[in-house]
Homo-oligomer: A and B are copies of this chain.
Amino acid sequence: MPGHVTTVPAMRYRSGLETRDKILRATRELIADSGLEGTTINGICGRAGVLPGSFYNLFDSKEQAILTVVREAIDAIDPDPDKQGTVSLEELVQAYVRFVSEQGDLARVYIAMAVSGGRNNTELKGRVLRHHEGRVARFATAIARERPDLDQSETERRAETLVTALNGIVLHYVLEPTFDVAIHAKALLSDTMAPA
> Which A positions have Cβ atoms within 8 angstroms of B?
33-35, 37-38, 111-112, 114-117, 119-120, 128-129, 132, 157-158, 160-161, 164-169, 171-172, 174-176, 183-184, 187-188, 190-192, 194, 196
When all copies of this chain in the complex are counted, the total is 2
A161 / chain B contacts, CB cutoff of 8 Å: 169, 184, 187-188
Contact of A132 among B38, B132, B166, B172 (CB under 8 A): B172
Q: Which residues on B sit within 8 Å (CB–CB) of A175?
A: 114, 117, 128-129, 132
How many Å from the CB of A38 to the closest CB on chain B?
6
Q: CA–CA, A194 to B161, complex, Å?
A: 16
Chain A at the B interface: mostly helix, strand, loop or mixed?
helix
Instruction: A35-B37, A158-B187, A167-B171 are known; give 11 further A-B pairs, CB within 8 A.
Output: A34-B120, A112-B115, A114-B171, A115-B174, A132-B175, A161-B187, A164-B169, A165-B165, A165-B166, A165-B184, A190-B196
Known: A132-B172, A184-B164. A111 touches B119 (CB 8 A): no
Which residue of B has the minimal Cβ distance to A175? B117
Q: Give complex CA distance A39, B24 in Å.
A: 27
Residues of B within 8 A of A115 (CB): 35, 111-112, 115-116, 171, 174
In the assembled complex, the CB of A102 is this many whole angstroms from the nearest CB of chain B, namely 20
Select A165's contact among B112, B168, B196, beta carbons within 8 Å.
B168
Which residue of B has the minimal Cβ distance to A195? B194
26 contacts between A and B (CB under 8 A): A33-B119, A35-B115, A35-B116, A37-B38, A115-B116, A115-B171, A117-B174, A129-B175, A129-B176, A132-B175, A157-B184, A158-B187, A160-B184, A161-B169, A161-B188, A164-B168, A164-B172, A165-B166, A165-B168, A165-B188, A166-B168, A168-B168, A171-B171, A190-B196, A191-B194, A194-B196
